[in-house]
Each structure stands twice: as structure tokens, then as C-alpha cells.
Amino acid sequence: MREVPKKEKQVVRGAAPLNDANLAESLPEDESLIWQGRPEPKAIALRAMYLWYVGAYLLVLVLLRTGFLVMSDAPMSEWSALLAWQLLASLFIVGIILGLAVLYGRSTIYTLTNRRLILRTGAAVPIHVNFPLEQIASADLKVFSDGTGDIALKLENSDKLYWLLLWPNVRSWWVRPLQPLLRGLRDFELAASALASAASAQSPVSFGEFKSDYEDVSVAVSALPRAQ
């Protein structure tokens, strides 16, 4: 029996694949890969785990406790030993946050095809969450001073989504309706353009802050080929 040659997956110009072979090769024949990206660990640490706030809180606790002992005329050996112990404990907590941020950054992959947005997340047990493009009602882009951007998605039906399932790829302090988030993208310009092009091909989408915060997106969208 003659072997049927396997069709190569079409990748739209401008894509940035991360060679997630298990996912890319399992796409149906009528589905093509457009873009792939992953979050920056620094963005996860600062905006999902609030590293600055945690660090400031720990520092205040250390200063208050040490200051109280000093003002109480405690021996220097006592408050200096306590200060060293508190600083080590604080550094340990900060180290855990940084380690988790790196772990989630490496294990999370965002994949955009001409039919859906796929979120691969999970540090211990990776899972895939699918968002059909026709379910995306709006998308907002926010650019940060560190050179990364977040894209928040509002879905037509988000009742079956769970915050803990998507974290840290979910908009903070936004429980209902739940908004999935493409967090800490270094190539947010390309991601926004590709998402706008692919989603518009499926259904009318409100791009929210795309055009007000990043005017070049509308130009980039017209330059991208439509997904087939």
C-alpha cells in the first residue's frame, strides 16, 4: 500500500514558532500555526506574583521588628542575630517566587492558529486550554515599561473557566467575567497583530486598547496574510 505523504503545516509569515512539536504536529490538516510565544519570567514575578510588594512587605516587617528591639535596649547580639535570620528568611521567600516565575515562564506556551488560541500551562502537570477564535469578543493590549506587553481576552462564554486553572495566565483581580491573559510577551507587537488578523477572519472582534495604545497594530494587521 502506497504511503500517503504527510502534509507540512503552513506557518503564516511573521510567526515565531518555539518548536513545540507535540502540539504543532497534532494540528488538524485544515489548521495552520500562526504564532507561538511564552511569557517573560520577570513579568510573571512582578505582575502575577507581585514580587515588589512582597519584598517591600518583608522589608517593613524586618525593620519594624529590629527597630523595636533596638529601642527596647536589647543586646546587640540579640537583635543582630534576629536581623540576620529575618533577612535570610526573606531572601528565601523571594528566591521561591523567582524560581516559580522561571518555572512557569519555561512551561507556558501560547499558540495561535487560524482557528483557536491554545494555552499550554502547568509547572508540574502541563495542560492545554483551547479558546476558539469565534469566542473572543474583545482583546486589550497593555504595554509596560520593561518592554513587555499583556494581552487580555474577553470571551463570549467564560463561565466554565477557572481562575486557578489558568493562573498566572489570567488578569489579576478580575474574577468574573474571567479574562485569560497572554502575559509578559516580549514580541507583543507581533502577537497583537497576528491575533487581530486571525480573530477578525472568524468573527467581528473589538480590539479595545489595541488601536489607542498601539496605533501601528492596524497597519501591521493589514500587512499580515489572512489565515486560510
Helical H segments across the chain, by residue range = 21-24, 41-43, 51-71, 76-107, 163-166, 188-202, 209-213, 216-223
Q: What is the pLDDT of residue 220?
A: 37
Q: Is the pLDDT of residue 213 over 70?
A: no
Taking alpha carbons only, the member of 7, 34, 29, 31 closest to residue 225 is 34
Q: Is the pLDDT of residue 182 over 80?
A: yes
Most confidently predicted of 66-75, 128-137, 141-150:
141-150
Window from 49-58, 59-68, 115-124, 195-204 with minimum mean pLDDT: 195-204
Band of residue 24 on the pLDDT scale cut at 50, 70, 90:
low
Q: What is the pLDDT of residue 25?
A: 64
The per-residue pLDDT for range 135-172, each reduced to its tens digit, is 888 888 999 998 999 999 988 876 677 888 888 999 88
Q: What is the pLDDT of residue 1?
A: 47
Q: Is the pLDDT of residue 46 over 90?
A: yes
For residue 185, list its beta bridge partners.
Answer: 149
> Among residues of the chain, what percentage have pLDDT more than 90?
36
Q: What is the pLDDT of residue 138?
A: 84
Q: What is the pLDDT of residue 207?
A: 54
CA 125 to chain centre: 17
Q: What is the pLDDT of residue 150?
A: 94
How much is the average pLDDT of 183-201? 88
* 196's grid cell: 487581530
Per-residue CA distances from 103 to 45, 51, 100, 106, 109 (Å): 11, 15, 5, 5, 12
**CB-based contact 110:181 (threshold 8 Å):** no
Q: What is the pLDDT of residue 8?
A: 47
Burial track 1-35 (b if 16+ CB lie within 10 A, e otherwise): eeeeeeeeeeebebbeeeebeebbeebeeebbbbb
Q: What is the pLDDT of residue 199?
A: 80
Cβ contacts of residue 68 below 8 Å, gap of 6+? none
In angstroms, the CA 118 to CA 99 distance is: 25
Taking alpha carbons only, the member of 156, 133, 180, 103 closest to residue 35 is 133
Helix 216-223 vs helix 188-202: angle between axes, to the nearest 10 degrees?
A: 60
Q: Is the pLDDT of residue 61 over 60?
A: yes
How much is the average pLDDT of 126-132? 87
